[in-house]
């Protein structure tokens, strides 16, 4: 009888440890994903400023940063990785085939922007900035919840 209870206690402890480690892993991937997206936002702001100032070196560098990060995006969205703090919508996993095309589109748009910036072609830079923005929006609109309004503001 005591062995039976010990076996159940051991099994329950193992299960609890597994569930806890899964929750921590999920929180970790969400944090990494949110950091990557905040970095993208900072890159986009730097690109906008670079375009305004005709600082094509910055535009190229930041576009290449976005390009490189696009290879990580899908790994940061394991099935069901949502939380109260995450704006990821369940549509990501429901429409994975559609969702999974977006990082490639953004990467190509960022590459084209980097090439236009390297050539210092203002007309093409202006066009490619819009293309990159559309690629980002094309994913954010259907797969990201709107930002929650803060109380009192």
Domains in the chain: how many in total? 1
The model's pLDDT over 45-104, given as tens digits with 9 standing for 90+, comes to 999 999 999 999 999 999 999 999 999 999 999 998 988 889 999 999 999 999 999 999
Decide if 4 is inside a domain: no
CA distance 96 to 125: 31
Is residue 126 assigned to a domain? yes
Residue 144 CB neighbour total at 10 angstroms: 16
Instruction: Please report, for the domain that includes residue 59, its CATH number.
Output: 1.20.120.10
How much is the pTM? 0.79
Asked whether residue 13 is domain-assigned, the answer is no
Q: Mean pLDDT throughout 14-41?
A: 69
Q: What percentage of the chain carries pLDDT values higher than 90?
A: 73
Domain assignment present for residue 38? The answer is yes
């Amino acid at each position: 009888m005591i062995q039976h209870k010990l076996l159940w206690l051991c099994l329950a402890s193992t299960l609890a440890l597994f569930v806890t480690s899964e929750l921590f892993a999920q929180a970790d991937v969400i944090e990494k994903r949110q950091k990557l997206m905040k970095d993208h936002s900072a890159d986009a702001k730097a690109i906008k400023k670079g375009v305004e100032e005709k600082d094509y070196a910055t535009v190229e560098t930041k576009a290449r940063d976005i390009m490189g990060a696009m290879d990580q995006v899908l790994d940061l969205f394991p099935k069901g990785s949502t939380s109260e703090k995450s704006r990821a919508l369940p549509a990501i996993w429901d429409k994975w085939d559609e969702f999974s095309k977006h990082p490639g589109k953004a990467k190509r748009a960022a590459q084209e922007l980097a090439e236009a910036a390297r050539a210092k072609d203002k007309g093409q830079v202006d066009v490619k900035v819009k293309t990159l923005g559309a690629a980002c929006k094309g994913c954010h609109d259907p797969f990201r919840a709107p930002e929650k309004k803060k109380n009192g503001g």
